[in-house]
A and B are shown apart, each in its own frame.
Chain A
Amino acid sequence: MAEVKDYKIKRNLSALIDFSRVINSSIDLEFILNNVLLTCLGKFLATRGLIAVKEKGKLVLKVSKGLNAEDETAFPYLLATPECIEDPKLDSFMHVTNMKIVEKISSSQDCIGLVCLGEKLNKSGYTEDDQEFLRTILNISATAIQNSIIISELREVNRLLDTRVQRLDSLFELSKEFGMLAESSRFVKLLIFSVIGQFLVQKYAVVLFKDEPEILESKFSRSDLQKCLSEYELINTLESIRNEEISEQYKLLKEIGVHLVVPMQLQGNTRGLILLGNRAGDKEYLDSDVEFIYSVGNLAIISLENKRLFEEALEKQKLEEELLIARDIQQNLLPQNIPFHENFEIAALNVSSKQVGGDYYDVIPLDDDNFVVAIADVSGKGVPASLMMANIQAFLQVICKHDLKIDEATALINNLVTANTTEGRFITFFWGVVNTKQKTIKYVNAGHNPPLLLRNNAVNKLDKGGIILGVMETVNPYIFEEVDLYKDDVLILFTDGVSEAMNLSGEEFGEDKLEETANALKVNSAKEILDGIKHEVQRFAQGNIQSDDITMLVLKVS
């Protein structure tokens, strides 16, 4: 009898050593557990059994034999504590699944799992010895199980790190690519590809909020999505909307299969949305997933915005360049060289306050004995005024080719200007025909600041004429005046930019001061008088930026 027992112990021992060698040679948790369970079943001739192992603090069923799926899902929620095998939930589970014995697997510190075994084939109960033997097997296995748990945890952590690295790579690549793209359609494609490739999503949409929500891409039905957009104020979405919330509060979105809505934000404002359907394998979107999508979306929207700002700046720059060209063209409309006329010295200047303005002067030869001097001031400023200035310049050039009387010609110009202007715009205009032989000027003043005719110590204002140009068609004829000119007479044509030039205290230069200045300078040449007045006006203005153009023409009889 003793021999038989010895033999049995020997056999058990060599089996245990063999078993120990096998399971310690592997780090594959599944292989180890399978081996442990099969060894137990073989040893006790049991037909069913299971092993649960600690995973994130609780016990998870890892391997089972002879259990059906229903039994497996019935495995209770148990925390991995030393007391776990006394839990009543486990008791009732074992009762239902016909398990007869349970033993925990302990590492040096704590419980890392448990084993349940069913009835023995011969229906006999488990003895104290059996229980002891089971404990021995499990003690031998514990280290191997513990090691393989740690390794699989490390693998998991590694995989998580790999995922993080891969996502950072994606973000890095995207930020590079977004910066290089020219078309916005590629932006959306790239955004979509990155997200659906990352999460294995087949249904998606991208919406931008402009004046109206605009669906840029959609694999959901566009009309259904449109309905959702008008039903819910999604522009106010500041946080992502997760599946749970969609199920509860956004029935329409749920119906078309949206599982996640992530806002694309710029400076705290929602400028667009990324809508995604379910992930392959029905995985949920985790916090870190949503964070990634959020980052990609914001990256895209910032890049789009930068592109828009850049284009806007480019457009503005182009506009400014065009204005500079317009200014050159306008300057060319003014006489480049004032023709020399016997007995008359002429000097003129135009200082534009903006890039383009509405002031105009001209000197146009008619025939050997006659030439025209003209000055005009278009109401308003900028491009509209400059267009009208170009207009009247053209009229005048054409009309001077025809032998018309100056009053009738003025009436004609007024009709043309009236027909060509929008309401509220007008032109003050003075022009005169100077006869060099007879030394006369025949002029019409259409509402312009009266030019000053300085003779001896008197100042004569040339103010005969009629209504300003462009207000209404000529009803009352313009009247003209013919004035004789004498040696040393000085005629000064100017726009209100001269008389109304303002200093820092808001005072105007004024016509009186203009007369005074001109009088003091009149013994000089036309050019010197012009420069003298300009200098005086600038001295008065004290460097104050002028809002109006300054235009002047000085004619001196010699």
Chain B
Amino acid sequence: MAEFNTSILDKGNVSVINLKGYLDAHTAPTLENNFTQLIGNNRFNIVVNFNELAYISSAGLGVFMAYIEKIRENSGDIKLSNMSEKVYNIFDLLGFPLLYEIYKTEDEAVNKFTR
């Protein structure tokens, strides 16, 4: 079974979720739990760092759609960073840049919140 795990790091009022491994239908619940947990703790400024993500399936992409409304209702946002070209291409193919801000580096994404 493909490995997937996440870690959450708080940087001021921004929470950074680091993704590692394969995000697919099978591992999606892990990320779901991260979002529910952050929302439960009223942490709505979220950066997702894709640096160590090897693969994302459409079910994995769905997780981002499922929570964005709730987060934006609370004047937060999910910003994405450090995507490999392969991962970015999938996001781009499906039109995610329309809805999400995607940054090269985590710091850039974090700074967008603090400004």
Chain A residues packing against B (C-beta within 8 Å): 159, 162-163, 166-167, 169-170, 173-174, 177, 180, 186, 189-190, 192-202, 219, 280-281, 283
Bits for B44-63, please: 1 = Cβ < 8 Å to A, else 0. 00000000000001111111
Decide yes or no: A174 and B95 within 8 Å by CB, A197-B65, A200-B65 being known contacts. Answer: no
- Residues of B within 8 Å of A190, CB to CB, are 25, 28, 59
Complex formed: what's the CA distance from A225 to B64 in Å? 24
The reply on B8 being an interface residue by CB < 8 A is no
The reply on B9 being an interface residue by CB < 8 A is no
Chain B residues packing against A (C-beta within 8 Å): 24-26, 28-29, 32, 57-66, 68-69, 89-90, 93-96, 98-99
The answer to whether B98 and A202 touch across the interface, beta carbons within 8 angstroms, is no
The answer to whether B89 and A197 touch across the interface, beta carbons within 8 angstroms, is no
Complex formed: what's the CA distance from A350 to B100 in Å? 77
The answer to whether B93 and A159 touch across the interface, beta carbons within 8 angstroms, is yes
Complex formed: what's the CA distance from A368 to B61 in Å? 85
The answer to whether B94 and A200 touch across the interface, beta carbons within 8 angstroms, is yes
Complex formed: what's the CA distance from A193 to B35 in Å? 14
Decide yes or no: A166 and B58 within 8 Å by CB, A173-B24, A193-B63, A196-B66 being known contacts. Answer: yes
9 pairs, CB–CB < 8 Å, chain A vs chain B: A169-B57, A170-B57, A170-B58, A173-B25, A173-B57, A197-B58, A197-B64, A202-B65, A202-B69
- Residues of B within 8 Å of A162, CB to CB, are 89, 93
Decide yes or no: A280 and B98 within 8 Å by CB, A173-B57, A193-B58, A197-B58 being known contacts. Answer: yes
Closest Cβ–Cβ distance, residue A140 to chain B (whole Å): 34
Closest B residue to A201 by CB, please name it: B65
- Shortest 9 CB-CB contacts between residues of A and residues of B: A193-B62, A197-B61, A197-B62, A177-B25, A170-B58, A196-B65, A193-B59, A197-B58, A281-B98
Closest Cβ–Cβ distance, residue A110 to chain B (whole Å): 32
The answer to whether B98 and A163 touch across the interface, beta carbons within 8 angstroms, is no
Interface of A is mostly: helix
- Residues of A within 8 Å of B95, CB to CB, are 200, 280-281, 283
Complex formed: what's the CA distance from A275 to B99 in Å? 21
- Residues of B within 8 Å of A200, CB to CB, are 65, 94-96, 98-99
The answer to whether A196 and B62 touch across the interface, beta carbons within 8 angstroms, is yes
- Residues of A within 8 Å of B28, CB to CB, are 189-190, 193
Closest Cβ–Cβ distance, residue B5 to chain A (whole Å): 19
Contact partner of A197 (CB less than 8 A), chosen from B29, B63, B69, is B63
Decide yes or no: A193 and B96 within 8 Å by CB, A162-B89, A198-B61, A200-B65 being known contacts. Answer: no
Complex formed: what's the CA distance from A197 to B95 in Å? 10
Closest A residue to B57 by CB, please name it: A173
Interface of B is mostly: helix
- Residues of A within 8 Å of B25, CB to CB, are 173-174, 177, 190, 193-194
- Residues of B within 8 Å of A166, CB to CB, are 58, 90, 93-94
Closest Cβ–Cβ distance, residue A389 to chain B (whole Å): 52
Complex formed: what's the CA distance from A21 to B99 in Å? 39
- Residues of A within 8 Å of B90, CB to CB, are 166
Complex formed: what's the CA distance from A281 to B94 in Å? 12
- Residues of A within 8 Å of B29, CB to CB, are 186, 189
Closest A residue to B62 by CB, please name it: A193
The answer to whether A198 and B94 touch across the interface, beta carbons within 8 angstroms, is yes
Decide yes or no: A202 and B68 within 8 Å by CB, A166-B90, A174-B25, A283-B95 being known contacts. Answer: yes
Complex formed: what's the CA distance from A162 to B94 in Å? 10
A197, A198, A283 interface centre (most CB from chain B within 10 Å): A197
- Residues of A within 8 Å of B89, CB to CB, are 162
- Residues of B within 8 Å of A198, CB to CB, are 58, 61-62, 94
Closest Cβ–Cβ distance, residue B35 to chain A (whole Å): 12
The answer to whether A174 and B93 touch across the interface, beta carbons within 8 angstroms, is no
Complex formed: what's the CA distance from A173 to B27 in Å? 12
Complex formed: what's the CA distance from A162 to B59 in Å? 17
Contact partner of A173 (CB less than 8 A), chosen from B59, B93, B96, is B59
Closest Cβ–Cβ distance, residue B55 to chain A (whole Å): 10
Closest Cβ–Cβ distance, residue A536 to chain B (whole Å): 66
- Residues of B within 8 Å of A192, CB to CB, are 62, 66
Closest Cβ–Cβ distance, residue B32 to chain A (whole Å): 8
Decide yes or no: A194 and B59 within 8 Å by CB, A173-B24, A200-B94 being known contacts. Answer: yes
- Residues of B within 8 Å of A189, CB to CB, are 28-29, 32
Complex formed: what's the CA distance from A173 to B28 in Å? 13
Complex formed: what's the CA distance from A169 to B58 in Å? 9
Q: A177-B24, A189-B29, A193-B61 are in contact. List 13 more A-B contacts (CB 8 A).
A: A163-B93, A166-B94, A167-B58, A170-B59, A173-B25, A177-B26, A193-B25, A194-B59, A196-B62, A196-B65, A198-B62, A200-B98, A202-B65
Complex formed: what's the CA distance from A199 to B62 in Å? 9
Closest Cβ–Cβ distance, residue A191 to chain B (whole Å): 9
- Residues of A within 8 Å of B64, CB to CB, are 197
- Residues of B within 8 Å of A163, CB to CB, are 93
Complex formed: what's the CA distance from A163 to B89 in Å? 10
B26, B32, B57 interface centre (most CB from chain A within 10 Å): B57
- Residues of B within 8 Å of A169, CB to CB, are 57-58
Complex formed: what's the CA distance from A195 to B66 in Å? 11
Complex formed: what's the CA distance from A189 to B36 in Å? 14
Complex formed: what's the CA distance from A194 to B98 in Å? 18
A169, A190, A193 interface centre (most CB from chain B within 10 Å): A193
- Residues of A within 8 Å of B59, CB to CB, are 170, 173-174, 177, 190, 193-194, 197
Complex formed: what's the CA distance from A167 to B90 in Å? 11
Closest Cβ–Cβ distance, residue B72 to chain A (whole Å): 10
- Residues of B within 8 Å of A280, CB to CB, are 95, 98-99
- Residues of A within 8 Å of B98, CB to CB, are 200, 280-281
Complex formed: what's the CA distance from A246 to B66 in Å? 24
Closest B residue to A217 by CB, please name it: B66
- Residues of A within 8 Å of B68, CB to CB, are 202
Closest Cβ–Cβ distance, residue B98 to chain A (whole Å): 5
Closest A residue to B63 by CB, please name it: A193
Decide yes or no: A195 and B69 within 8 Å by CB, A173-B25, A174-B25, A280-B98 being known contacts. Answer: no
